[in-house]
Structure 1
Amino acid sequence: MPQTQRQAQVDLYEELYTRFRWHVPERMNIAELCCARWAQDDARIAIHYEDDAGHTASVTYRQLHEDANRLANRLRALGVGKGDCVAIVLPQRPETAVAHMACYRLGAIAMPLSILFGPEALEYRLQHSDASVAIVDQAGLQNLRDARPNCPALKHLIGVDCNASAGSADSGLLDWPAELASASDQFTPEQTAASDPAVLIYTSGTTGAPKGALIPHSAIIGNLTGFVASQNWFPQPGDVFWSPADWAWTGGLMDALLPSLYFGMPIVGYRGRFSPETAFGLLQKYGVTNTFLFPTALKMMMKAFPEPRGQFSLKLRAIMSAGEAVGDAVFNWCESALGVTPNEMFGQTEMNYIVGNSSQRWPAKPGSMGRPYPGHRVAVIDDEGRPVKAGETGEVALNRTDIHGDPDPIFFLGYWKNPEATRSKYTGDWCRTGDLASVDDDGYLWYQGRADDMFKAAGYRIGPSEIENCLVKHPAVANVAVVPKPDKERGNIVKAFIVLTPDTPRAPESDAQLVARLQEHVRGKLAPYEYPKEIEFIDELPMTTTGKVQRRVLRLLEQERSAAA
């Protein structure tokens, strides 16, 4: 029988939520929990690695632990100590996990940075963090070198798989294999408190400079209820995890890599570009049972392979999705085509995994963000910090304590060198997310968009998610972003930027007809004021490195066009 867990309609939510209690040790370390305690098993696989050139490898927890010790010894010799920042500019590969574990054992702060960052993005983060060492592979090396002259605190670069010319004597680049070969695989770790900083992740934000969210060791514990629940009670025997989410971001690090290692299970790391073909190929090859896939990725997979089980042998038993609303079109495809009810999740870097679904334990409502995960007291609040009524829109917020009055370990420590921004994140004991939602009578949250994504058109308050979900159901639409276009009479009109499927015919006459069909498609399903009065076809949408549509870029484009008209 297809694994569509909604059919059972089991609802254990109240029991799970009310009985849960946090148990956080006073002293703890992510590397001990995610690596060292599994290292005695010589055969236990930590990472299956593959790249787009066909290279493969499998790394055991013992190998990961010993290499982390070697790197920790070398970093200590380079002057890295407790509380110092180490930049990790690496993609999904075993060395990324080694670098993280080495930093944690040192009591240092791991600062993951995307290989997609250009010199300016790297320069800001390296300057602001005072990182003294950066670990990088060939993909990010040139941009890092371009940024380095303006980063006086950055004393050392360690290169992973960098070519011979890059490692020449005058490059100042230390060679990863040589550094590790010269070091002992024994290391006495620093003793760290649960509240000590472990990770520094810079949030992209929508306005102003990126802010560095400082994450404590305890956050790995705070993540667990959401991870276990959204992955249908992970781990189970034979579980294998994979996600295309970049390990340099919260979604890849805290929702995939670290929790998989925490439970001593294997995770697949793939170094290459995402495509539906690659995704299904990896799922089949490694017998992946659990995954985190952004809605954007699921949309691409749905359009490319409407009936994937006819072409691929899959073992999927759980899908978590986050970053955008999944929408019922993708939700229904996951159930019918993959046999898995997707568990939507909501969180952010500052407090991750706070709301979501677990379809085997409580019913999932298509399109809903879910309910607060056990251990997290979540509300939808107004500007004064008061919970709004059911059905009203407000801002999603998390309380410092759970329903029993115990501190919630999920919280970030604060923004690096920015106490004012840290203070403004809170209203009393409520930590604001900047995301809007409503809550229904059953306690399910319904995403309404970022506060800065909402807009008014002809006096109506518009959220893009519902319109985008409606449009993507049309067979010609691969992806879509809805933004306001300034209009003198109405204030704004609804505009849709649409990426068409590859097989959709294009010509001036057919484009005009398609626009009319798409408008009618929405007009017949949503409120009259929600249909897109203007549609523009583009080759690709602007996306963040974490797979979120950058509506802000398109909104600014329309503002510039309007000003120039």
Structure 2
Amino acid sequence: MIKRDATKRSQHSDKARSAQPDHYAALHQGFGWQVDEYFNIAEACCSRWARPGRGSQDAIKRIAICAHRTAAKSTFHTYLELKKAADALSHVLAGLGVQRGDRVAIVMPQRFETAVAYMAVFQMGAVAMPLSMLFGPEALAFRLHDSEAVVAICDESSISSVNSVRAECPALRTVVAAGDASGDVDYASALAGQQRAFTAAKTKADEAAVLIYTSGTTGPPKGALIPHRALIGNLSGFVCSQNWFGFDGKTNARSDAVFWSPADWAWTGGLMDALLPTLYFGRPIVAFNGRFSPELAFSLMQQQGVTHTFLFPTALKAMMKAYPEPGRHFKLKLQGIMSAGEAVGDAVFDYCRAQLGVVVNEMFGQTEINYVVGNCAVLWPARAGSMGKGYPGHRVAVIDDEGKECAVGVPGDVAVNRFDVHGHPDPIFFLGYWKNEAATRAKFTGDWCRTGDLAKRDADGYLWYEGRADDVFKAAGYRIGPGEIENCLVKHPAVTNAAVVPKPDRERGAVVKAYVVLAPDLIADRARQSVAGSQFDAEIIAMLQAHVKTMLAPYEYPKEIEFIEALPMTTTGKVQRRVLRLQEEERFRALP
């Protein structure tokens, strides 16, 4: 059941969409991959921009990294500085015995030295292994040991954690310490002693460049081995999702793009969707090492003149709640917003369009096959809540268990074919899972690479996310996708965020339960109540249940709502529904 005003709004959106240009079919059919036999990420993202005579901007002045600070002046680093530092670090690593193909762990936040480390490792032909500073000892030890990393580059945020697990990692010979950290080798003094240019290895496009470990939801984390060519495979999606990033959409002249995202450069979203593609186009990226907040996001974008960004739906929701009318407080230059990790939902979609002046482009991808589905509002109509369509160069479908494409409206597994619409190999694909051939084989059904994410395809080719295969559940015989209910709850002014999971029930198998983070003003009101679980709580719960009932089907409203201070989140901004689901199962088993 849908509210009448929502139906009107949908009809209005349909009319607006029909007025938008739709160049999707022409882009998709006319697109072709150009991947040379030899390709190196460091050459494409650093070296070529550091040479004199590239365009009208002198290489000495071209900014690569802007280190943003809230209480001090920002520091700007050019591509020439990046290249010289990377050359010096490559010499240091070579002196430490790092060879082509060796894994080098990079355990640092967004900072200039992190970008230097990536470029240094890539141009050596070694393999960069990004690790988050948020990893605990067990997570760090597993990845360092499994990858057989020979060197770790750390700063003050990670050095103690890495040192605490060194005894469990026999292959780890050396720790290089940057910033205020102290290790086997001091980064600053070691680089100062190396002033020579470095002769980069001539790497093939198919050679490994990055080893990133995926979350272990059903077992130990798996290391996805990413080749140099995958960056090329990313570019069509990056350019489209950022509304033709790198070029003025009207004149096709090089733009004044400035990029920023809070996404950690240790993750696919921060590395492959932010840092590397921005550097590929020779544009500046803002680095900020600090806690995210709506005020920080808006003030940083204003101060640095950010034109393009990647913001998780959770970040956008928080920004929407904190600043319903941001134009009253900040002057922004935004031209493109990409969002991924969770469904954005039409409340955030409408907010970005009305208040930020930009239609948010949702994107979908995985570490193994990144940046494959999404929207590009300037080239084809974006639909609120839709994942979008396969980006140019990628053949994407919804398939069943046998690998056959599902009919319109039938849920299935989102999958990407090894070959594009012209029959040419798609460069986006990972090489395989590190030391796990069985898992690599299981990822594929013929030439289709399965994502494990469920979606439906509509008649126009747009995909609509249904959730991870292990997030979708049945309640009273009905199939429930949590995203739609969560989006509905977040539209209510009383809700900051929400997560929906099944609660085991002896009679119905499971019922819909929502964990809700209340808006700050309601949290304050609730704290003033003398009794927890009081009439105050009951009234809010009834109000939210009624809200969902009027917007969705009767079987979708949450039979139970529990208030929570914060939802469990991954370090990449995704809600960990699995944590809440397991909690409900534990509670059920404890019942008499």
- State the TM-score, normalized to the length of structure 2: 0.93
- Structure 1 residue 522 corresponds to structure 2 residue 548: yes
Q: Which amino acid letter does the alignment assign opposite residue 218 of structure 1?
A: R
Q: Which amino acid letter does the alignment assign opposite residue 542 of structure 2?
A: A
- Structure 1 residue 198 corresponds to structure 2 residue 209: yes
| Alignment match, 2:294 | 276
Q: Which amino acid letter does the alignment assign opposite residue 184 of structure 2?
A: L
| Alignment match, 1:549 | 575
- Structure 1 residue 443 corresponds to structure 2 residue 454: no
Aligned equivalents of 2:452, 2:262: Cα separation in 1: 25
Q: Which amino acid letter does the alignment assign opposite residue 216 of structure 1?
A: P
| Alignment match, 1:381 | 399
The answer for unaligned runs of 5 or more in structure 2 is: 1-15, 52-58, 248-254
Q: Secondary structure at the match of 1:58?
A: strand
* 1:147-546 pair list within 5 angstroms: 147-163=165-181, 167=182, 172-236=183-247, 237-504=255-522, 505-506=525-526, 507=529, 508-546=534-572
Q: Secondary structure at the match of 2:430?
A: coil
1:384 positional shift: 0.5
| Alignment match, 2:12 | none
Q: Secondary structure at the match of 1:23?
A: coil
1:54 positional shift: 3.5
1:7 positional shift: 8.1
1:206 positional shift: 1.7
* 1:121-160 pair list within 5 angstroms: 121-160=139-178
Q: Secondary structure at the match of 1:316?
A: coil
1:8 positional shift: 4.5
Aligned equivalents of 1:527, 1:60: Cα separation in 2: 55
Q: Deviations over 1:44-66 (max 9, x none)?
A: 00010024553621100000000
| Alignment match, 2:10 | none
Q: Deviations over 1:175-211 (max 9, x none)?
A: 1101101113411111100000000000114210100
1:310 positional shift: 1.1
Q: Secondary structure at the match of 2:146?
A: helix
Aligned equivalents of 1:247, 1:210: Cα separation in 2: 19
Aligned equivalents of 2:238, 2:74: Cα separation in 1: 27
Q: Secondary structure at the match of 1:291?
A: strand
1:418 positional shift: 0.4
Deviation larger for 180-189 or 540-549:
180-189
Aligned equivalents of 2:277, 2:30: Cα separation in 1: 23
1:6 positional shift: 5.5
Q: Deviations over 1:16-46 (max 9, x none)?
A: 0001010000001000000000002100000
Q: Deviations over 1:207-245 (max 9, x none)?
A: 101000000000010000000001010113211000000
> Does the CA-based 8 Å contact 1:52-1:272 persist in structure 2?
no
Q: Deviations over 1:383-408 (max 9, x none)?
A: 01000000010000000000111000
Aligned equivalents of 1:67, 1:539: Cα separation in 2: 44
Q: Which amino acid letter does the alignment assign opposite residue 522 of structure 1?
A: V
Aligned equivalents of 1:255, 1:324: Cα separation in 2: 15
1:302 positional shift: 0.2
Q: Secondary structure at the match of 1:303?
A: helix
- Structure 1 residue 91 corresponds to structure 2 residue 109: yes
Aligned equivalents of 2:170, 2:49: Cα separation in 1: 39
Aligned equivalents of 2:81, 2:244: Cα separation in 1: 27
Q: Which amino acid letter does the alignment assign opposite residue 538 of structure 1?
A: I
> Does the CA-based 8 Å contact 1:371-1:444 persist in structure 2?
yes
Q: Secondary structure at the match of 2:272?
A: helix
Aligned equivalents of 1:159, 1:523: Cα separation in 2: 56
Q: Secondary structure at the match of 1:200?
A: strand
Q: Deviations over 1:65-97 (max 9, x none)?
A: 000000000000000010000000000001111
Q: Secondary structure at the match of 2:382?
A: coil
Q: Secondary structure at the match of 1:139?
A: coil
Q: Deviations over 1:321-366 (max 9, x none)?
A: 0000000010000001111100001000000010100011000111
> Does the CA-based 8 Å contact 1:200-1:212 persist in structure 2?
yes
Aligned equivalents of 1:292, 1:413: Cα separation in 2: 26
Q: Which amino acid letter does the alignment assign opposite residue 156 of structure 1?
A: T
Aligned equivalents of 1:364, 1:206: Cα separation in 2: 31
Aligned equivalents of 1:414, 1:185: Cα separation in 2: 36
Q: Secondary structure at the match of 2:309?
A: strand
Deviation larger for 5-14 or 450-459:
5-14
Aligned equivalents of 1:342, 1:412: Cα separation in 2: 27
Aligned equivalents of 1:93, 1:286: Cα separation in 2: 16
Q: Which amino acid letter does the alignment assign opposite residue 314 of structure 1?
A: L
Given candidates 10, 31, 45, the residue that maps to 1:20 is 31
Q: Which amino acid letter does the alignment assign opposite residue 550 of structure 2?
A: G
Q: Which amino acid letter does the alignment assign opposite residue 393 of structure 1?
A: P
Aligned equivalents of 2:571, 2:383: Cα separation in 1: 28
> Does the CA-based 8 Å contact 1:67-1:185 persist in structure 2?
no
* Number of residue pairs the alignment of both structures matches: 554
1:125 positional shift: 0.1
Aligned equivalents of 1:351, 1:61: Cα separation in 2: 29
Deviation larger for 19-28 or 43-52:
43-52
Given candidates 70, 74, 86, the residue that maps to 1:68 is 86
Aligned equivalents of 1:442, 1:452: Cα separation in 2: 27
Aligned equivalents of 1:413, 1:379: Cα separation in 2: 21
Q: Which amino acid letter does the alignment assign opposite residue 290 of structure 2?
A: G
Q: Secondary structure at the match of 1:557?
A: helix
| Alignment match, 1:10 | 21
> Does the CA-based 8 Å contact 1:6-1:341 persist in structure 2?
no
Q: Secondary structure at the match of 1:368?
A: coil
Q: Secondary structure at the match of 2:465?
A: strand
Report the CA distance shift for 1:411/1:26 in structure 2 as closer, same or farther (over 3 A): same
> Does the CA-based 8 Å contact 1:476-1:501 persist in structure 2?
yes
Which 4+ stretches in 1 moved above 4 angstroms?
5-8
Q: Which amino acid letter does the alignment assign opposite residue 338 of structure 1?
A: L
| Alignment match, 2:55 | none
* RMSD, aligned CA: 1.0
Aligned equivalents of 2:472, 2:284: Cα separation in 1: 40
Q: Secondary structure at the match of 2:551?
A: coil
